[in-house]
Structure 1
Amino acid sequence: MPSPTQKALAKVPGPLRPFLIQHRSLVKFLVVGGTCFLLTMVINYGLKLTVCQNKPVVALTIGTALATVVSYLWNKAWSFRSEGSHKEAIPFIVVSAIAVGVNDLPLLASRYVFNLREPHVTHVTQEVSDFLSGMILGTLVAMAFRYWAMKKFVFTSPRADDETTERHTEPPARVG
């Protein structure tokens, strides 16, 4: 029975398959990251529109921190297929804490260095600036940092079954 990954690969155009297979941990990392980005956005705006109306950096930090926990579980189990004990928990916490700070820096700069906040700019400009600096730029920079740091310091030992189940180069042929 083909795995979900094999089923997905069967739907990808042939010339693209080798690239995706060669960079499978990056692709999986991006899928997890995209899902956690949406989770961060929901939490961030949920807080920003309610209890953290005047604290956009706090809202973003809480959203990012909660999504980071989900990211850890999914990346450990799927993206990096780490089987190690909880020895990676401490480096993960350190890398994640740094990444949350990295994610917050563009929003902090936008709001408090460039004064892209009310009353200096309109409410719409402030919100667009918050989204572009915190959710887009901050996430992209933090994502690049996380990918590098997770591979380098956290998830360093692949699962034993990773070599046999992930070494395939072609998904199974379609029947019918």
Structure 2
Amino acid sequence: MSGTAPTEPAEAPGRLAAARSEVTQFLIAGGLAYAVDVAVFNLCLYWGLGGVAAKIVSSVPATIVAYIGNRYWTYRSRERTGVRREYTMFFVFSAIAAGIQAGCVFVSNHLMGYTSTLADNISGNIVGMALGTLFRFWAFRTFVFKHKSETAPSTEPALSAGRGGTP
């Protein structure tokens, strides 16, 4: 018992630093995607698209930028589970998050009656983005970019040996 207690607190700062680094990298990659999203969104509004349609259109290039940043920087050390699977799941979860953002614009426009460019930006790019970002962070780290199984190789033989070699 005393052998495990001292190592746990020593591991905590390392885990905290890793979590802080992951969140920081996620937010930086997301910040770049956010800049693309806001620029395309406002360009679409300028061209006459409605707020909800503009938010849906702007989410496509932003999602591509976010995927590249997250796959090749934020989660570069995570296990690759197949490009097709990973890319599909990333875009499905991103579409759900874009729906959250578009839903915020819909509520602002159609339920609250706010239809100005400022209201669209607040509802879609501030409120919607905050809610969508929380959802994305949870979904990407949980389902899309999985952790490598670092303990499985070392514990599996020990468990098998302890059971007489049967799984």
Would the TM-score normalized by the shorter structure come out above 0.5?
yes
* Matching residue within 9, 25, 46 for 1:28: 25
| TM-score normalised to structure 2 length | 0.73
Match of 2:34 in 1: 37
Say whether the 8 Å CA contact 1:20–1:27 is kept in structure 2. no
Greater relative CO (CA pairs within 8 A, separation 6+): 1
CA RMSD of aligned residues (A): 2.2
Amino acid at match of 2:102: D
Match for 1:148 among 105, 113, 138? 138
Comparing both structures, which one devotes a greater share of its residues to helix? 2
Which of 78, 94, 97 lines up with 1:96 in the alignment?
94
Q: What are the equivalent positions in structure 2 for 1:154-169 lying under 5 Å apart?
A: 154-158=144-148
Q: Which structure has the larger Rg? A: 2
Determine if contact 1:29/1:147 at 8 Å carries over to the other structure: yes
CA distance in 1, matches of 2:19, 2:88: 29
For the 8 Å contact 1:80–1:158, the answer to whether it is kept is no
Aligned residues: 134
Query: What stretches of structure 1 of length at least 5 have no aligned partner?
Result: 1-17, 118-125, 161-176
Give the structure 1 partner of residue 60 of structure 2: 65
Shift of 1:159: 10
Is 2:74 the counterpart of 1:74? no
2: distance between equivalents of 1:60 and 1:103?
A: 7
* Unpaired segments ≥5 residues, structure 2: 1-14, 151-167
1:12-69: CA deviation from partner (whole Å, max 9, x where unpaired): xxxxxx965541111000001111111111111111101xx14121111111121001
Whole-angstrom CA distance in 1 between matches of 2:139 and 2:18? 21
Moved over 2 A (4+): 18-22, 157-160
C-alpha displacement of 1:127 = 2.1
Match of 1:136 in 2: 126
> CA offset at residue 90 of structure 1?
2.1
Closer, same or farther: CA 42–20 of 1 in aligned 2, 3 Å? farther
Aligned mates of 1:20, 1:131 — CA distance in 2: 34
Cα distance in 1 between the residues matched to 2:79 and 2:57: 28
Matching residue's letter, 1:59: A
Q: TM-score, normalised by structure 1?
A: 0.69
Change (3 A) 1:69 1:158: farther
Q: In 2, distance between residues paired with 1:133 and 1:154? A: 27
